[in-house]
Structure 1
Amino acid sequence: MRSTLSRAAGITYGDVLETRARITPARVAVEYEGHDFTFAELNLMANQAAWKLLDLGTTQETPIGVLSENSLDYLALMYAAAKVGTPLAGLNWRLRAPELAASMTVTEPDLLFVSDQYRDLALDAVARLPEDRRPRVIELARATADDGRAALTPALAHAESANPGVEVDPEQVMLIIYTSGTTGIPKGAALSHRSLLARASIMSTEMRLEPEDNYVAWSPMFHMACSDYLLLTHALGGKVLLLAKFDTDLIVDFLTRERVGWLLIMPGILDRMTDALRADPRPRKPVKYVGTMADLSPLESISNITDALGASYFNTFGTTEVGTLPGASSFIPPGADPTVLSKDQSTFCQIRVVDQDGQDVPPKGEGEMLIRTATMFSGYWNNEQATRECTAGGWYHTGDTVRLHADGTYDYLGRLKYMIKSGGESIYPSEVEQVLLDHPKVLEASVIKVPDEKWSEVPAAYLAADGDVTAEELIEFCAPRLARYKLPKHFRFIGIEEFPRNVTGKVERLRLEERFARGPAQGWMAEGDTVGAQP
């Protein structure tokens, strides 16, 4: 039992929504499918869904899973889980059934809520699990009210609509967001109410956000960028445009009507968004910040989109485990042609940059970034070993390599452990290699990251094969087992003896990258532009 002092010291996101519904009931919380929903209406739906979760026997120890595009039902369910203290694990609908089954093995949800669009995928994935670990599947069937607006799905509707009044510890896990492991096995980063509220408070301060600074939630709700900033916007009393997918027309239209604090645009779609903005002559409301991951974005694209919006570029990188710290106050001015992308440290965290022996590096030294902050996650769900490893010594080990400058700024250099970042999605080579090696004609496989004009980086595969095999054949083989953005964009076939190896026998990926950079050679087989990350 928690002490009376600890109970008096904490609130949760369920409390936040309840308060918003009381003090600003008529203020619009969500615009969805062309209709507005107030905080009072959203809170009522969340309360109904909370009672439904209680009827279904959910507990604060066992997560529920959600496989759905962004929707009003998903949003109500997220707040409902917050109100009863049940962790919610958002599942990636871009995955194939085997990958999805692996994700559920990590969190072992008791219930799996599924939209119509992903019903077949969900059933396929669940069938791959052991019978005693299969969640109950509940379909989120679409519903429409008499006024033509979306309504809460019958699966979540309940006669009770008052706050169920369940006591929830602020350290209770609210969301589980998947992040890839170095072996390709997913990990579930557990984010508590405390962590998410700290992120909202700190980022509101760092970005000088106000209630009028609305948010466009087009990226999937299973991503940190969507969930963190959707919740932040509601805490401030702002409006969220909730989209099922990236849609330039709907986003541009929203910008003509509403102020936006941060317009999240991933590297691979910067130019597409710029073109849409320039093609629409209508005057627009102010946007404070645009973009993300400047280090992975073409500099010309950064200049173009900031010029088109008159907004600064958000020059930071973040991790699911700590949010967008520590470079939360780093911005590139509108229209600037940046030559360096150094970042400032937020005062709401401590950082260290250490060498491979754990010693602090001197100015201009390079090493791994370590962080301490109130936004810290609560560990990896059901993975104590990984949690201990990444928080050794009382610091979060980011796995990111940076260069530290004398003035305290730093440059992002890349992942300490090899990872491909394609259009905002993380790809670990070993996962792709394992699938390639299952092909009967593939003897050896090594996947590397290579530059791509649209997605910043894409995977390329070096292969040794026994007999004839084509890139098209390999894509067809991998497609049922890997998300589309994980499929190699390029293939090169070489002799097994040509793989560069170190003294321990491991393939040296950096040398393969150098070989790739030297240009096409005999044996190249390119898949073309039909695969890659999709927004």
Structure 2
Amino acid sequence: DDEEEYEAFLAAAPDTEINANVHPDDVALLMYTSGTTGRPKGAMLTHANHTWNVIHTTQRLPIHAGTVALGVAPMFHIGGTSVTVLPTLFQGGTVVTLPAFDARAVLEATERERLTGLFCVPSMWQMIVEELGRKEYDLSSVEFLMTGAAPTPLKILKFFQERGLAIYEGFGMTELAPLVAILDKWDCERKNGSVGYPAFFVDVRIIDDEGRDVPARTVGEVLCRGPNMLKGYWNKPEATAEALKGGWYHSGDLGYLDEEGFLYIVDRKKDMIISGGENVYPAELEQAIYRHPAVAEVAVIGIPHEKWQEVPAAIIVLKPGASMTENDLIEHCNQCLARFKVPKTAYFVPELPKSGAGKILKTELRKMYGGYKVSDK
């Protein structure tokens, strides 16, 4: 019995205080980035980084000694260790773990263990929504839900909001251990589309390609700094210098701040499509496509075009039993997107390539489909 083995292990341990000569700036964890835009890098996160992340998180989420949080995101991903697990343990709460993600198992654990807090990435939430459509589960113990790691389709946010469940959208990254901003439940409607207000001790700037600060609601690269910022990348001095220019972490994310300082993420800089001189942000297209009832998952990438250099292409996973054609997609998008943003082609696939943390790997999709031209089809 695993529980008995654990209790026996604790009982056999000496009760003398451990004399750990550890400095707050010592590296506590080497956490590798997800590798969605290239080879993973080992982020050196210190004891202080984690402590400040706990402070930021518990200031914004209702995590306390009575919290019973689910640990289902993989522990080799920053979201699995530091979004709810470490903050809950720091507060004296309880963490329930599952060996792997399964929507039914998550909901059964919520009933059985009376979970109060759950963190999942959008692809996981989509499967949970589908399971809730098949069967009723008792979610009365839940105090908060947390989503992050990728843009969350609005229909998922609305699904839980309509059921009276508080869902917080977070924005973060491995290099910030990870919290940068959280959209609080009371701001969900008036700041729809935002990832929230920066954590108390985190500063956020938006700069243009020349490194100059830009006005409110102007899209640029998101820069962050704070006591939760990484020490550097393991054995990668050049990458460290590039990422931490001027004492700010250069995220590679495109976004803007509104007049109140709320942060909006538009897309990854490397994912932006330039079509006929116009900037096209895949995340905007993906949100529009997700509104189609047949779509379970979608990723938009740029593929070559003889006239426009690059055009959007949608790679789509349909819901079980649903049907959709390329013309259906184009007709749907014509109703809600400018013409130059409408995907020019679509590929329907059984699944999308994902990292172990559940992020869609667009680098793999570009390898698979980036060699096609629309005129080839």
What's the TM-score, normalizing by structure 1? 0.51
Q: Which of 457, 461, 471 in structure 1 is aligned with 2:299?
A: 457
Partners in 2 of 1:415 and 1:234 — Cα distance? 32
Determine the structure 2 residue equivalent to 1:343: 196
- Number of residues paired by the alignment? 314
SS in 2 for 1:227: helix
User: Match for residue 218 of structure 1?
Assistant: 72
Shift, 1:278, TM fit: 5.3
CA distance in 2, matches of 1:201, 1:37: 33
Which aligned pairs between 1:372-411 and structure 2 lie closer than 5 A? 372-411=225-264
Query: Is residue 2:28 matched to residue 1:174?
Result: yes
Q: Taking structure 1 as reference, are residues 36 and 238 closer, same or farther at Cα in structure 2, changes over 3 Å only?
A: farther
Alignment partner, residue 127 of structure 2: 272
Equivalent AA in structure 1 for residue 142 of structure 2:
V
Whether contact under 8 Å (2:37, 2:270) holds in the other structure is: no
Mean alpha-carbon deviation: is it higher for 214-223 or for 344-353? 344-353
Residue of structure 1 aligned with 2:108, choices 240, 253, 267: 253
TM-score (ref. length: structure 2):
0.70
CA change 1:454–1:281 in 2 (3 A) is closer
1:163 & 1:250 partners in 2: Cα distance?
39
**Structure 2 residue matching 1:365: 3-state secondary structure:** coil
CA distance in 1, matches of 2:246, 2:219: 20
Are the counterparts in 2 of residues 294 and 302 from structure 1 also a CA contact under 8 Å?
Answer: no
Match of 2:156 in 1: 301
User: Structure 2: how far apart are the matches of 1:455 and 1:42?
Assistant: 44
Report the Cα distance in structure 1 between the residues aligned to 2:270 and 2:345, rounded to whole angstroms. 25
Unmatched 5+ residue regions in structure 1?
Answer: 1-31, 48-159, 421-447, 463-493, 502-507, 521-525
Mark the runs of 5 or more structure 2 residues left unpaired by the alignment: 274-281, 315-339, 359-377
SS class of match (1:353): strand
Q: 1:209 to 1:519 in 2, by over 3 A?
A: same
Deviations 1:443-499 (CA, angstroms, capped at 9, x unpaired): xxxxx998474344266877xxxxxxxxxxxxxxxxxxxxxxxxxxxxxxx8xxx49
1:454 is matched by which residue type in structure 2? Answer: A
1:200 aligns with 2:21: no
Question: What pairs with 1:53-202 in structure 2 (closer than 5 Å)?
Answer: 165-179=19-33, 184-202=38-56
Q: CA 1:190–1:225 in 2, change beyond 3 Å: closer, same or farther?
A: same
Q: Once the 2 structures are TM-superposed, how far is the Cα of residue 175 of structure 1 from its aligned partner?
A: 1.6
Cα deviation, 1:197-246, whole Å, max 9, x if unaligned, reads 11112211121321111211111110111111322211111111111101
Matched, 1:518 2:344: yes
Please tell me the residue identity of whatever aligns with 2:344.
R
Q: Residues 222 and 518 (structure 1 numbering): CA distance in 2 closer, same or farther, change over 3 Å? A: same
Distance 1:499 1:293, change over 3 A: farther
Residue aligned with 1:454, SS:
strand
Q: Which has the larger radius of gyration?
A: 1
- Residue matched to 2:185: 331
Deviations, residues 56-111 of structure 1 (Å, cap 9, x unaligned): xxxxxxxxxxxxxxxxxxxxxxxxxxxxxxxxxxxxxxxxxxxxxxxxxxxxxxxx
| RMSD of aligned alpha carbons | 3.7
**Residues of 1 paired with 2:298 and 2:11: CA distance?**
43
Q: Using a 3 Å threshold, how does the CA distance of structure 1 residues 41 and 288 change in structure 2: closer, same or farther?
A: farther
Q: Distance in 1 between matches of 2:216 and 2:86?
A: 37
Q: Is the contact made by 1:212 and 1:260 (CA closer than 8 Å) also made in structure 2?
A: no
Q: Name the structure, 1 or 2, with higher relative contact order (CA <8 Å, separation 6+).
A: 2
Which residue identity is paired with 1:245? A
Shift in Å at residue 295 of structure 1? 6.8
